[in-house]
Structure 1
Amino acid sequence: MNLFVVGDVHGCLHTFKGLLDRHWNPDKERLVQLGDLIDRGNDTPGTLRLAKELRQRYGTNAVFLKGNHEYEFIQHIENGPNEYWLPQCGFETLNQLRSANIELQEVSEWIHELPLIWENEHVLISHAGIADQVEFPFDEGNELGVLWNRTPLRNVGKLQIIGHTPCKSGSPEYDQASHSWNIDTGAYRKVALSAIRVTSLGEVLEMVQFPVDPRDVSENE
């Protein structure tokens, strides 16, 4: 089964749904969204609702990974006010969820269970990638770990697919040294939501860039 890997969504519900409706074939492809479903965009509640519906309908063929924004949300709910996250985007996300009558604890529990990676023998997908110099890549608080890393990646002998750091070019970028693709193209910045279609052997079939729906991002973003 091929893989359809989607980059950072950041609450851009209409864009995410449009991308899936137009380009994902759930009968032939496993969907993997590599984290940061929430924050920044105009509809975090709807984005979470869609993700839950897809997981319920397609089971293991709809995979959602944890990103650093999910981590920050969990820290806020479980450990008290997250003063780093709140002014960046947390206040807006909390307001959206409360307005939609969604229990914050339920959201925290759902995203807490999201995996950090999806992998097979040929492909490894995570939010920020396996850093070249990291000792504990799966420590969620590690600045070089798979939720936070912004340093060069290690060549792990597989194709790595990551997001987290928006590509300066506005298009997905390939790094030959680490054999990795970064597909974060800044949906919340009104650039595009990108996805990559690959075989289970890690062969790239297609790169997709879907324009951001203007309903998803406020004018002041």
Structure 2
Amino acid sequence: MRTFAIGDIHGGLKALIQLLNTLEIKDEDQLIFMGDYVDGWSESAQVIQFLIELSEKVNCIFIKGNHDVWCEEWLRDGDVNKVWYMHGGKETMESYERFSEEEKRKHLSFFETLKMYHLDTENRLFLHAGFTSMHGVEKEVFQTTFYFDRTLWEMALTMDKRIEKNSELYPKRLTHYKEIYIGHTPTLNYNQYEPMNAINVWNIDTGAAFFGKLSAINIDTKEVFQSDVVKDLYPDEKGRNKN
């Protein structure tokens, strides 16, 4: 069985289909999606429909991202978060114009069942953004941390590699898990166009919402697979506001 972690999609259905074709998925494979399925390109609702149908054929694990939370709130009660609207929500709402109320309810159910994190049998952790508890995800007080935190990644990036794991100076957050896989913070911020590794943390968000590609990584071999630059697949669109 191969297991792939797949980065933030942000409404780029064309990139997702292209990436999955490159992976040549087999029945026994597992796909772990890191969250932020919506907001950005014009096919957010179509991405959700595709993922629902994909999960009926392939073993999929879906993590919840912050953009998914905003879309879920809108589908549930019509609440339009102002920050969400400015950062892809407008395009997501427009993508739902041709979807029936029954289809929207099915999509709401999809969002409601997304996981905050996934821990596999080899003690590898998957979550959208990060966590802050020195005791691990089970002791995290605020669930919003799982899809908003950036301090885990920032800490991993700045870690002095000379500090040994058994040292008192070594961050306890990093000691609980064999590997940690995240999205949320585009590697484009660091002028990197492929998934990044810092200590035992892997960042799979390669900026598909902006001018990057959609990425997947085989978590055993660390082989990276990518779509074309997503904005080239949607030449008449601007994508998300990066601010």
TM-score range, shorter chain: 0.7 to 0.9
**Residue of structure 1 aligned with 2:183, choices 163, 171, 184:** 163
AA in 2 matched with 1:193: L
Q: Give secondary structure in 1 for the equivalent of 2:129.
A: coil
List per-residue Cα deviations over 1:139-176 (Å, max 9, x = no partner).
Answer: 333xxx11111113531232111100001222211111
Q: Any conservation in 1 of the 2:128–2:184 contact (CA below 8 Å)?
A: yes
Q: How far did 1:21 drift?
A: 1.1
Question: Who is 1:6 aligned against?
Answer: 6
Q: Give secondary structure in 2 for the equivalent of 1:146.
A: helix
Question: Who is 2:64 aligned against?
Answer: 66
Q: Give secondary structure in 1 for the equivalent of 2:233.
A: helix
Q: Any conservation in 2 of the 1:132–1:152 contact (CA below 8 Å)?
A: no
- 1:220 partnered with 2:238: yes
Q: Any conservation in 1 of the 2:27–2:57 contact (CA below 8 Å)?
A: no
Q: How far did 1:138 drift?
A: 6.8
What is the aligned-residue RMSD (CA, Å)? Answer: 2.3
- 1:90 partnered with 2:89: yes
Q: How far did 1:132 drift?
A: 5.9
Q: Give secondary structure in 1 for the equivalent of 2:97.
A: helix
Question: Who is 1:34 aligned against?
Answer: 34
Q: Give secondary structure in 2 for the equivalent of 1:147.
A: helix
AA in 2 matched with 1:191: G
AA in 2 matched with 1:116: M
- Structure having the higher Rg: 2
Q: Give secondary structure in 2 for the equivalent of 1:171.
A: coil
Q: Any conservation in 1 of the 2:118–2:125 contact (CA below 8 Å)?
A: yes
Alignment coverage as a number of residue pairs: 210
List per-residue Cα deviations over 1:71-95 (Å, max 9, x = no partner).
Answer: 1112234453322212322122111
Q: How far did 1:7 drift?
A: 0.3
AA in 2 matched with 1:98: E
- 1:127 partnered with 2:128: yes
Q: Distance in 2 between matches of 1:112 and 1:216?
A: 29
Q: How far did 1:218 drift?
A: 4.2
Sort the Cα spacing of 1:138 and 1:107 in 2 relative to 1 into closer, same or farther, 3 A: farther
Q: Give secondary structure in 2 for the equivalent of 1:160.
A: strand
AA in 2 matched with 1:65: I
Question: Who is 1:188 aligned against?
Answer: 209
AA in 1 matched with 2:179: L
When the two structures are superposed, what TM-score results if normalisation uses the length of structure 1? Answer: 0.84
AA in 2 matched with 1:76: W
Q: Give secondary structure in 2 for the equivalent of 1:71.
A: helix
Q: Distance in 2 between matches of 1:115 and 1:217?
A: 33
Q: Distance in 2 between matches of 1:56 and 1:87?
A: 33
Q: How far did 1:110 drift?
A: 1.8
AA in 2 matched with 1:6: I
Q: Give secondary structure in 1 for the equivalent of 2:70.
A: helix
Q: Any conservation in 2 of the 1:11–1:216 contact (CA below 8 Å)?
A: no
Q: How far did 1:184 drift?
A: 0.4
Structure 1: state its 5+ residue gaps. Answer: none
Q: Any conservation in 2 of the 1:38–1:70 contact (CA below 8 Å)?
A: yes
